[in-house]
Amino acid sequence: MSCSGSLALDCMIPCNARYVFVKVTAARDPDNVDKWEVQLRKGCLELAILAALWEEKLYGLEILRRLESDSDLIVSEGTVYPLLSRLKALGLVKSEWVESEAGHPRKYYALTPAGKKRVMDMAGIWKRFSSSMSKLLAPLGKGSK
């Protein structure tokens, strides 16, 4: 049986092809302290949310208020809700709807056992990290000579 003509389908692998490596470098501006601060806050947000839930279950707005009053994390609301949904998908928090006196139900979040373990682990890392950073930064407090 011969199959002729225009159906030729070829996958060529030229051995002399030049491979182009695209080096992806994030645009970094070493002088931009604000950007660094944003990254720092961003990195802490997951720990902050899990820690806020340590003692009791809270709904979204309560978590936001807790973060604003107990820490100076400036949090955008449009960020916290998707993050809560991600933490739930990862099995770190669970949620339930509770009727409120305001006339509408609220979605409360609580830590799961996996979430408790995670926040303990993260807190341990945080404490070690911040104490070593504090030691490193101590000379700065004495002012320059």
> With contact defined as beta carbons under 8 Å apart, do 59 and 106 qualify?
yes
- The interface region with another protein, picked from 43-51, 112-120, 125-133, 136-144 by CB under 8 A, is 43-51
Chain centroid offset of residue 77 CA: 14
User: 139 to each of 28, 127, 128, 145, how far by Cα in Å?
Assistant: 28, 20, 19, 11
Dihedral sign computed on CA atoms, order 136, 138, 141, 144: negative
Does the protein bind another protein through residue 117 (CB under 8 A)?
A: no
Does the protein bind another protein through residue 83 (CB under 8 A)?
A: yes
Q: CB of residue 76 vs another protein: minimum separation in angstroms?
A: 7
Residue ranges in contact with another protein by CB under 8 A: 1-5, 7-16, 22, 24, 38-39, 42-46, 59-61, 76-79, 81-83, 85-86, 89, 97, 102, 104-107
